[in-house]
Amino acid sequence: MNELPVYLPQGALRQGDGGVLWRIWAPYSDRVWLVFFRGGDRREIAMQPEGNNCFVHAEAHVDDGLRYAYRLGNNQDFPDPASRWQPESVHRPSAVFSPGDFSWTDAAWQGVSREELAIYELHVGTFTAEGTFAATVPRLPALKDLGITAIEIMPVAQFPGGRNWGYDGVHPYAVQSSYGGPRGLQELVDAAHREGLGVILDVVYNHLGPEGNYLAQFAPYFTDRYHTPWGNAINFDGPESGGVRQFFLDNARMWVRDFHVDGLRLDAVQTIYDFSAEHILADVQAAAHEEALRRNVRVHVIAETDQNDVRLLRDRDRGGCGLDAVWSDDFHHAVHALLTGERQSYYQDFGALEQVVKAYNEVFVRDGGYSRFFRRRHGSRAGETDRARFVVCVQNHDQVGNRAQGDRLGTLLPAEAQRLAAALLLLSPCTPLIFMGEEYGETRPFAFFCSFRDPGLAEAVRRGRRAEFAAVPAMQGEVPDPQAAKTFRHAKLAWQWPDGSPQAGLRRLYAALLAARRQWAALADREHTFARHPVGTRPGEDILVLERGGTEGILAIANCSAQPCVATGIAVGRRTLLLSTAAKRFGGPRADDDPLVPLLPYEMQLFGAG
């Protein structure tokens, strides 16, 4: 019986004696040369076969920053597929980096529990004017004060140029140099932990970007048996897939071990194809948790998906992948369609208040019934699965950025409807995710941007974006040029909420509701959630009644329409008003001594036991 091949970690690996061992898996080549670049000098060394199609070379006394590349049998130089640092570009030589040299100060940090997660998604390049890890650090206290418990950083794997969402990364192990490189990321994570914030990193294991993608020169990393919307799928189950799987499993381990991240958000797992008996997602989850166990910290592996498939959460011994959490788009779609009136594309399955009710009560709206968008049955039932294992939002980078002009709720909705959206989100029993700037009603757009150096590729992206939105009448309009520097500049946050402004009021509401999630026992009770649309409301009235924590817990009454309404027949009893989204302190018109009826447009009132 043949033994299973053992695939060892790749890259420029610092050894205990200060030297470096280079290892490359290159089954497409009979010989591989390691090329060193020092100043204008070039030195080539024939690497030694190690077995299993790997080649190695060791050097003593190697400094960080040494530039190197691999020359294959076609006499071309290529960066290291497992490069930890690309200080010049995706095309240029790699550089030695020693992650173990960093002096961490987070020895007492143990992570954030799943029940405590309140996630803030940010893009490093547009979160600050500087667009760097270092510039992000001074803003961490403001996020902590807001009530955030973990930041989620959009992908930082090295991508072409200096402007990109991050999903076009081509060096999975290297941290984007324009953000501050690998040392900058370590410093940001360490600072976040000092502030009491976890860090979740968005990683892309379904494809690599189109420019600077050299992995296919070395090994069968890709397959033509499956396809993704963005390029060739990763070969997780075909011939020689063992080395490919190990490459990505080692990558997951690296982020937890060397960068101390508290979680991985796996991009679009519905395009990760694997028909192996053990799915790669289950192996990623296990690898990340093994590293976390060694460090005695918590880690969360979260899948982004539109599948509504609870098998991703089911334990491995029950045929699942055992992931810690999944995204649930249905909550976003239900709230967005109700408040904006949009019905195009995937919103065609939504638009009625009953779907918001179902999202509260059952998580998945599309739970096995027919979907007009997918034109088939879609989804499964969430059942009794812990609601903390579903991540929900009213905005995220996809739902904003994949609009023609990248317009946010800050421009799509009036202030009172934005406040209602915030309350609907933060009263959910699921784990909330807030997109950067949402908390103060940011109006600057977040359109798709990139900086490809290949003119043909750049033009193809422009044409593709225009064609994509031309097919959706309700979203037509001038599509910003993704390659233009101004598209990137316009996406940078204003980060302003002047005293007395609607922005300050909205941010105060987010802070109050995030505090309520921590402090009110009824909101910590994820099992007893019941929403309804009362029977007998008058025509044109969209009233949502939500109970959290049982009949003696929190009662919320929301007017989800643009007209005042009385909401007759809803008994408040002896309950005490805890909060109104229309209060003056949140930017609304209602004074503390105002009568509570009628409900103002898009107002929610929260009552607690008297």
Q: How many CA atoms lie within 13 A of 450 on its CB side?
A: 24
Nearest alpha carbon to residue 520 among 453, 587, 606 = 606
User: Is 267 among the catalytic positions?
Assistant: yes
Q: Which is catalytic among the residues 77, 80, 121, 267?
A: 267
* Count of residues making up the chain: 610
CA distance 268 to 282: 15
Query: By the 8 A CB rule, do 392 and 430 touch?
Result: yes
DSSP string for 383-421: TT--GGGEEE-S--HHHHHTSTT---HHHHS-HHHHHHH
E strand or H helix at 433: strand 431-435
E strand or H helix at 335: helix 329-340
Query: By the 8 A CB rule, do 601 and 540 touch?
Result: no
User: Is 106 among the catalytic positions?
Assistant: no
Q: Which is catalytic among the residues 121, 274, 291, 304?
A: 304
Nearest alpha carbon to residue 184 among 71, 102, 294, 95 = 102
CA distance 161 to 451: 5
Output b/e per residue, 266-285; b: 16+ Cβ within 10 A.
bbbbebbbbeeeebbbbbbb
- E-strand ranges in 28-154 read 33-38, 41-46, 48-51, 54-59, 67-71, 77-78, 94-95, 119-122, 150-153
Three-state DSSP at 531 gives: strand
Residues 6+ apart with CB under 8 A from 213: 170, 231
What are the structure tokens assigned to 195, written together?
């502030």
Query: Residue 261, Cα to own-chain centre: how many angstroms?
Result: 13
Q: How many CA atoms lie within 13 A of 464 on its CB side?
A: 13
Nearest alpha carbon to residue 474 among 348, 331, 339, 311 = 348
Residues 6+ apart with CB under 8 A from 207: 228, 230, 231, 232, 233, 234, 271
Find residue 20's DSSP bridge partners.
14, 59
CA distance 444 to 254: 35
Query: By the 8 A CB rule, do 210 and 193 touch?
Result: no
Phi–psi pair at 550, nearest 5 degrees: 85, -175
Query: Residue 249, Cα to own-chain centre: how many angstroms?
Result: 19
What are the structure tokens assigned to 536, written together?
């007998």
Provide, for the chain, the percentages of residues in helix, strand and coil under a 3-state DSSP scheme, each rounded to the nearest 5.
30, 20, 50
What are the structure tokens assigned to 58, written together?
């060791």
Residue 354: other Cβ atoms inside 10 A: 17
Q: Please, where are the H alpha helices in 273-317?
A: 280-295
Active site residues: 267, 304
